[in-house]
Amino acid sequence: MTELSLRGLRKSFGGHEAIHGVDLDIPSGEFVVFVGPSGCGKSTLLRLIAGLEDISAGELSIDGAVVNALPPAKRGVAMVFQSYALYPHMTVFENIAFGLTLKRRDKAEVDRRVREVAATLELTELLERLPRELSGGQRQRVAIGRAIVRQPKVFLFDEPLSNLDASLRTQMRGEIANLHERLPDVTMIYVTHDQVEAMTLADRIVVLRDGRVEQVGRPLELYHQPANLFVAGFIGAPSMNFLAVQVSAAAEGGLACRFGEGLETTLPLGIGGAPEGVKTLGIRPEHLEEHPEGALAVTVERVENLGESHLVHARLPGGATLIARGSGAVEAKAGAKLRYALPPGHVHLFLEDGRSAAARQL
Ligand code: ATP
């Protein structure tokens, strides 16, 4: 059982600070996913944990012992890379066995462990092949096999599925989820910029931006209660709609709001203090409800029928755009006038500094 603790972890490359002091506790057996846009520092944070980069400041502990100075091989971690990093001249068997052979394990034991791992990952038939004779998904399984065979305490995945096509990604995602179930004591940390992977694999997601943690939480917690505009916009596809809204006062039954030209409504929300000012209202595309008396009168610009669902791209009188998602197909054409209601339980309000107003639904 392995617990990780990051305390004020920092990393500078020359004068550039890529990680600005990250605090995080990861209990044993947890599957944690680091997500964030390109350059936010997810891979760097993972490499600090792996020992592939030196920590500039702060402490990294594994099972209560500070490991800042320990080389990667002594940390009990195994890393799986996006590029697979297989040895091209070695067979699948030799690639998986490599770490054990290095440790001069008994030949019979190596053979047993490699075959066990190969069976788990359905690689038994491929053990004599070279990496170039494998598909992308099979290569990635070999890379995972090579990590599992070492029986690590912590598994680190750096965008392991990015090189695969869409259907293979879905399949491998399932395999990684199964792996987590089969190895319940192994702590897993997974880096991706694919939020579907993050939402489906994670026990907890860590959202990073510019080397800082924006929010840590369970997937649905981030979806339903984003702490700020950044997380709200990052989790969910298509992204949450954001509309500038002038809150004039707390009114009977909520907040009196105006957005766009001539669009006024009372939102059934309550926030503490003086609510007046320009805020940002957030509503997810799937939560906008078409309704003849809805508060948002829009003009349809484009409709995308996806089969099981549709997306309506529309514009408000003031010029702001929004996307609404509904089930099935829709007939609406460009130029059509529609109205959307804001269902009270799904409206988010963000303050001037981007933090969620954690509005009370009245
Ligand atoms: P991506 O999704 O594009 O892989 P990322 O979130 O993993 O991005 P990192 O690779 O961790 O981002 O990079 C974080 C920041 O640190 C970036 O600004 C990057 O340019 C910088 N950086 C990373 N590695 C180095 C390095 N070896 N030398 C200098 N700067 C680096």
pLDDT of residue 272: 67
Q: How confident is the model at residue 360 (pLDDT cuts 50, 70, 90)?
A: low
| Per-residue pLDDT tens digits for 168-220 | 888 888 888 988 998 888 999 999 988 899 999 999 999 999 999 999 999 99
Q: Which residue has the tokens 């957005």?
A: 259
pLDDT of residue 183: 85
Residue 44 Cβ < 6 Å to ligand 1 = yes
Give the architecture-level CATH label for domain 4-228.
Answer: 3-Layer(aba) Sandwich (3.40)
Higher pLDDT pick, 151 / 218: 218
Distances in Å between the Cα of 147 and the Cα atoms of 12, 87, 113, 226, 286 are 28, 14, 12, 34, 40
| Per-residue pLDDT tens digits for 6-65 | 999 999 999 899 999 999 999 999 999 999 999 999 999 999 999 999 999 999 999 999
**HSE-CB for 103 with a 13 A CA cutoff:** 12
pLDDT of residue 361: 54
* Pairing state between β 31-35 and 204-209: parallel
For residue 261, with 0-12 CB atoms within 10 Å meaning exposed, 13-18 middle and 19 or more buried, which class applies?
exposed
| Range with top average pLDDT, 99-103, 253-257, 331-335 | 331-335
Sequence ranges of the domains in the chain: 4-228, 241-350
Torsion of CA 72, 74, 77, 81, to 10 degrees: 30
Q: Is domain 241-350 given the CATH code 2.60.120.10 in the classification?
A: no
**Nearest atom, ligand 1, residue 46 CA:** 11
Question: Residues 216, 206: contact at Cβ < 8 Å?
Answer: yes
Mean per-residue pLDDT of the chain: 89
Residue 18 Cβ < 6 Å to ligand 1 = yes
Same fold, 4-228 and 241-350: no
Helix residue spans in 24-161 (DSSP H): 42-50, 92-102, 107-120, 136-148
Residue 75 Cβ < 6 Å to ligand 1 = no
Question: Residues 321, 285: contact at Cβ < 8 Å?
Answer: no
Q: Nearest Cα to 101, choosing from 159, 63, 90?
A: 90
Residue 38 Cβ < 6 Å to ligand 1 = yes
The closest residue, in CA terms, to atom 7 on ligand 1 is 43
Higher pLDDT pick, 268 / 206: 206
pLDDT of residue 248: 81
In the predicted model, is pLDDT for residue 1 greater than 60?
Answer: no
Q: Nearest Cα to 345, choosing from 324, 360, 356, 355?
A: 360
Question: Residues 231, 223: contact at Cβ < 8 Å?
Answer: no
pLDDT of residue 273: 64
The closest residue, in CA terms, to atom 11 on ligand 1 is 41
The closest residue, in CA terms, to atom 31 on ligand 1 is 13
Residue 36 Cβ < 6 Å to ligand 1 = yes
